[in-house]
Chain A
Amino acid sequence: MTTSERDTELAAKLRGITGESSVLTRRSQLLTYTSDGLPTYRKWPALAVFPNTRNELIEVVRALALAKRTFVARGAGTGLSGGALAEGDAVVVGLNRLNRILSIDAENRLAVVEPGTVNAHLTRAANAHGLHYAPDPSSQTACTIGGNVAENAGGPHCLKYGVTLNHVAALTVILPEGELVTLGNADGEDAGYDLLGAFIGSEGCFGIAVDVTVRLTRNPEAIVTLLADFTTVEAAAQAVSAIIASGIVPAALEMMDNATIRAVEASIYAAGYPVDAAAVLLAEVDGLKAGLDVDVRVIEHLCVELGARTVRIAREEGERMRLWQGRKKAFGAMGRIAPDLIVQDAVVPRTRLPEILAKIGEIGRRHGIMICNVFHAGDGNLHPNIAYDARHAGVEERAHEAMREIMTVCISAGGTITGEHGVGLDKLDYMPLVFTPQTLDAMCQVRQVFDPERRSNPEKVVPVHSCREWYAVRGARA
């Protein structure tokens, strides 16, 4: 059977499960699914299927297992590491139609949702009970809970509230071979190995979540957002360290540099950031009303002491939202600078921030490219973004070379290559810089426990060649 005959046969089989309109095969239809939020990568899947119900999803995965086909689960496609791309023989399994909130147990602060549920929709539904879902990636108005689980997504507020790992109580998973398994335990404690913890952040390589039981968080009684502006990036970074050292746990502590500020202020997301500032800090404290003002005054005092020109304190919801919109839509605003953008992600120990930011600036200047920094300063989680025009010859290569240098700098400072975007395709080459061959091999083998034939999101996260080399060494030794 030729490839196209196999695809036709598979498409017919999948249509039998999901109905005619839920399977896409034509290139014009598949175009949308050839990239994710990091459009420097483009891959063509063989076809795409969109199950409409839980049972359809289970049947689809079983049909793919029977046909020995590789597949890639995809939520909203907002990922930033090329993780949701499918190539060649691989089938995209789109989960965005599985978007129902199945139940909310307000008293126990738990909700069960389908994987395609949009993050912000969950929070909106929980708000009716005075609750919210704490992890809040910048893409929260579009990204899905299933995708958040796959990436172990964070967001500005994970500084205080933790990442996806800390907010998932249980998962029902369909394994690549078609078996269903429950990981975690929403009704009590979990016993045995922490398979739930291992699954979260496995980037779609261990199977597909059929439903997710998340923990909800009580809405704070009060929230205050502060905007401090600085004339040097170093001073802003020092203020970050001082705030953390004071013992206050801000709900969020975000930094934007001048390039980002100007992009935001020139866009429809203009938030009133001072355009001549070298950097602004967006700090937020929340929780019980009593005592919150004490924390606000401490943060204000520390910022001023470390050279802030002004500290704006927003208590009113409208003003807070405006300050936040500039931050959350900063990536979009960067579209004004140049048509192409690489949104990057790395983590360094917080105390190394001033030094690393200076090095990133130097790398950008040396390669003649523009780097905008907008990031979770409180966590040391950097997002250096390169805005460039790929139509100009050689620019894309320079951008990628600059990124490689930035990653190397972060690793040698004791940091890591990704704090929340995942490895996907984009960071594969950097994995051997962070992990030893033994550790990479262990990751390969754990993946094979869940997915023995490596059909679920193949060739992502761990470089296959590094595993093979290790197998070869082992074979020779035996």
Chain B
Amino acid sequence: MILRSEQLAACTVTEVREEVRDARRRDEAIRIAGSATWMDAGRVVRAERLLSVSGLNGVIHYIPGDFTITVRAGTTLQHVAAMAAEERQWLALEPFGARSGTVGATIATGSYGPLAHAFGTPRDHVLGLRVVTGNGDLLTVGGRVVKNVAGFDLTRLFTGSWGTLGIITEATFRLRALPEVDESYALAVDNDPQVMDAQLRAISSASIAPYSVEMLNAALAQRLGVGTDTTILVRLGGNSESVRAQVKALSQLNTVGITSPEIWSSFRECEPEGATVIRFARRPSHLGGLWRSAVKRAAGALVHASVGRGVVRCIVNRDNDEQLTGERWWDPGSAIVERGADIPLHSSGPLAAVTCVRAGISRRIKDVFDPSNILNPGIMGDVG
């Protein structure tokens, strides 16, 4: 929420630095925006200005043979995907949300999608960044090569820090070659707990190497048109011989039906405006139980789970998100508010003192990069 929004746009790194220095001089906070598709994240950000970096866009460096690409932070994911596709490459990240989202926002929010099953989250894709800190300093962290252990890994600190440590102006990603075959299949899952758990175990140990394995509740399966009840979507890639064998292995578990590859785009963009999104996670072997608890509490919601990662993601109407968070039912495990009301749900540690030490480290890191607390204050709860 912007209290008194003065809209500013920066098209160069120099302008970003000037805006930050100016804000610091006046002791005014900045809310950082890319395409502004995430602006209703719902958490209270006490900021006097909105600084858009969507004008800071375009490709800086792309040598296909290196499988790396360096782009300005305001470049959209769609643009990166199109550039890479021309060389039969891709950024295997495809986070939930609009394709018009920017790479800067994706990295800042640590957003990921169904491909995390095989390829991980932004921390596993980002090789280096340029960042303007809350001091107005321009830092170049990481690098442009696929392996790099020079110095402390500040890239990981900025990734997923929601803009509270600095404004990302440029990013280098690792790309991959597009597979020869990329196909997706749907199979029905039984809602009986024992049968479901057995099916989940069978998928985990099947002779497949999927890109994504997502379980959808009935509402989401119907909305995407892939089933009437709980359904698992599997994305398979590789050479045709490998994919054929994997489909065969899948069909030994249950009847499978091929779905359109477009299903993943619809899936990524299925969130209604203003929804609350909360992710619950446990070790994958507990997924069945976690799933059933979440589905029961999130009546009427769209719910899906990354089967290999043990993460259940609930998309609920903002008016009734309390049904999910009223009590701490996910312990042990984690609950993270991706977007929605400011509910302090951070992962629980076994010892309160340990968590406290960790919070202290985070606060001191915030002090290093943004001592005046002018960058997205409040967006990460305690830390921001």
> Which residues of A approach B to under 8 Å, CB–CB?
105, 107-108, 110, 151-152, 154, 158, 162-163, 165-166, 175, 179-183, 185-198, 200-202, 205-206, 221, 241, 244-249, 287-295, 347-351, 376, 379-381, 414-423, 427, 431, 434-436, 438-440, 442-443, 445-447, 449-450, 461-462
A288–B66 alpha-carbon span in the complex (Å):
26
Q: Are B124 and A166 in contact (CB under 8 A)?
A: yes
**Nearest-Cβ distance from residue B253 to partner chain A, whole angstroms:** 16
A420–B133 alpha-carbon span in the complex (Å):
28
- A180 / chain B contacts, CB cutoff of 8 Å: 351, 353-354, 357
A165–B161 alpha-carbon span in the complex (Å):
18
Chain B contacts with A in 142-184, Cβ cutoff 8 A: 143-157, 159-161, 165, 176-180
Interface centre among B177, B207, B238 (most CB of A within 10 A): B238
**Nearest-Cβ distance from residue B165 to partner chain A, whole angstroms:** 8
Q: Are B241 and A294 in contact (CB under 8 A)?
A: yes
Q: Are A291 and B243 in contact (CB under 8 A)?
A: yes
The secondary-structure label for the interface of chain A is loop
Given A105-B283, A187-B282, A347-B145, residue A195 in contact with residue B151 (CB < 8 A): no
- A350 / chain B contacts, CB cutoff of 8 Å: 65-67, 146
- A107 / chain B contacts, CB cutoff of 8 Å: 201, 283-285
Q: Are A290 and B358 in contact (CB under 8 A)?
A: no
A166–B120 alpha-carbon span in the complex (Å):
8
Given A188-B310, A188-B332, A249-B176, residue A288 in contact with residue B245 (CB < 8 A): yes
Q: Are A192 and B145 in contact (CB under 8 A)?
A: no
Q: Are A198 and B63 in contact (CB under 8 A)?
A: no
Q: Name the CB-closest residue of B to A291.
A: B242
- Decide if B198 is an interface residue (CB 8 Å cutoff): no
Q: Are B369 and A442 in contact (CB under 8 A)?
A: yes
Q: Are A197 and B140 in contact (CB under 8 A)?
A: no
Q: Name the CB-closest residue of B to A220.
A: B209
Interface centre among A154, A294, A376 (most CB of B within 10 A): A294
Given A288-B208, A288-B245, A434-B150, residue A247 in contact with residue B178 (CB < 8 A): yes
- Decide if B78 is an interface residue (CB 8 Å cutoff): no
**Nearest-Cβ distance from residue A222 to partner chain B, whole angstroms:** 11
Q: Are B285 and A193 in contact (CB under 8 A)?
A: no
A201–B159 alpha-carbon span in the complex (Å):
16
14 contacts between A and B (CB under 8 A): A162-B124, A187-B282, A188-B335, A192-B380, A194-B110, A247-B177, A247-B178, A288-B209, A291-B242, A381-B147, A435-B150, A439-B154, A449-B364, A450-B361
Q: Name the CB-closest residue of A to B334.
A: A188
Q: Name the CB-closest residue of A to B208.
A: A288
**Nearest-Cβ distance from residue B185 to partner chain A, whole angstroms:** 16
A458–B150 alpha-carbon span in the complex (Å):
17
- A295 / chain B contacts, CB cutoff of 8 Å: 239
Q: Are A195 and B143 in contact (CB under 8 A)?
A: no
Q: Name the CB-closest residue of B to A422.
A: B149
- Decide if B1 is an interface residue (CB 8 Å cutoff): no
Q: Are B150 and A423 in contact (CB under 8 A)?
A: yes
Interface centre among A179, A186, A289, A427 (most CB of B within 10 A): A179
A175–B68 alpha-carbon span in the complex (Å):
36
Q: What 0/1 pattern do residues 346 to 368 of B give for CB contact below 8 A with A?
A: 11011101110111011011001
Q: Are A419 and B179 in contact (CB under 8 A)?
A: no
- B350 / chain A contacts, CB cutoff of 8 Å: 182
Q: Are B145 and A380 in contact (CB under 8 A)?
A: yes
Q: Are B150 and A189 in contact (CB under 8 A)?
A: no
- Decide if B324 is an interface residue (CB 8 Å cutoff): no
**Nearest-Cβ distance from residue A207 to partner chain B, whole angstroms:** 10
- Decide if B139 is an interface residue (CB 8 Å cutoff): yes
**Nearest-Cβ distance from residue A224 to partner chain B, whole angstroms:** 14
